[in-house]
Every structure is written in structure tokens, then in C-alpha cells.
């Protein structure tokens, strides 16, 4: 299988505080964002397609899905498909605990133990 070359248009932004003023300064371009805990460990990787980094990070900030989120970093990309590939590369390399498949969200289902057997059932949709 042939390796894809990802063309990124900007260097890593460095750590930025996850506050509304900083989110407002983000570009409206596709890209990847990394949510970072106080210990500088990447805990979530997300990507923004054509909606842009600013809008996608606002959605994340308003949901506040991860209470330990304190900082973020970002990289812009030429288009949404490149951002998606780049996000996949980051997820595979860093294995952030809040992405599905790693840590706390190993799958889209929950595992419950009953006696010596495991029972798998779909996660409840609120």
C-alpha cells in the first residue's frame, strides 16, 4: 500500500489556553486540533473539515465533553480530507484516552461484567 504524503500549511501552533478569546482567534480553515490536559498529555484529537477550526472548536468548548481539557494546539490543512488523514495519524501515534478505540472509549459499546462473563450492550443514547 502506498504511503500518503500529508501537506500541512501551518506549523504546530504550540500550547494555547482553551478559553473563548483564543478560540475566536482561530482560522476558519480545515485542520486538526489536539486537546491537552494540564500535564501536557494529549487527551483528545479532533479534526475540522470545511466548517473550519474555529467553529469545530467552539462546538467542542460548548459541549465541554472532557472536564480535564485546559489547553489546545492546532494545525491547518489545505482541505478536510487532509485534516482527517492527519488526525488519524495523530490518534494512532498518541492514542489519546478520549478518542474512541483508546483509554476510556475502547469501543462504541459498554462492557458490563456479570459474574465471570462479560455482557456487551449498546451504550445508552441520551
* 61-115 pLDDT per residue, tens: 887 667 778 899 999 999 999 999 999 999 999 999 888 776 655 554 444 444 5
Determine which helix (DSSP H) or strand (DSSP E) holds 83, and give its type and residue range.
Answer: helix 80-94
Please state the domain extents for the chain.
16-122
* In the block, residue with C-alpha cell 504511503: 3
Q: What is the pTM of this model?
A: 0.72
Using the 8-state DSSP alphabet, how is residue 124 labeled? P
Give Cα 20 distance to the centre of its chain: 18
CATH architecture of 16-122: 3-Layer(aba) Sandwich (3.40)
Which has the higher per-residue pLDDT, 56 or 103?
A: 56
2 contacts: CB under 8 Å, gap ≥ 6: none
Q: Chain-wide mean pLDDT for the chain?
A: 78
Mean per-residue pLDDT, 37-66? 87
Amino acid at each position: 500500500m502506498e504511503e500518503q504524503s500529508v501537506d500541512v500549511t501551518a506549523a504546530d501552533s504550540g500550547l494555547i489556553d482553551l478559553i473563548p478569546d483564543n478560540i475566536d482567534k482561530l482560522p476558519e480553515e480545515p485542520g486538526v486540533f489536539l486537546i491537552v490536559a494540564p500535564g501536557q498529555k494529549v487527551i483528545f484529537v479532533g479534526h475540522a473539515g470545511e466548517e473550519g477550526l474555529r467553529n469545530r472548536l467552539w462546538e467542542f468548548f460548548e459541549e465541554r465533553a472532557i472536564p480535564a481539557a485546559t489547553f489546545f494546539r492546532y494545525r491547518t490543512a489545505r482541505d478536510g480530507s487532509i485534516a482527517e488523514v492527519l488526525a488519524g495519524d495523530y490518534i494512532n501515534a498518541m492514542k489519546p484516552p478520549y478518542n474512541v478505540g483508546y483509554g476510556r472509549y475502547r469501543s462504541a459499546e459498554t462492557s458490563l461484567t456479570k459474574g465471570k462473563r462479560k455482557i456487551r450492550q449498546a451504550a445508552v443514547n441520551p
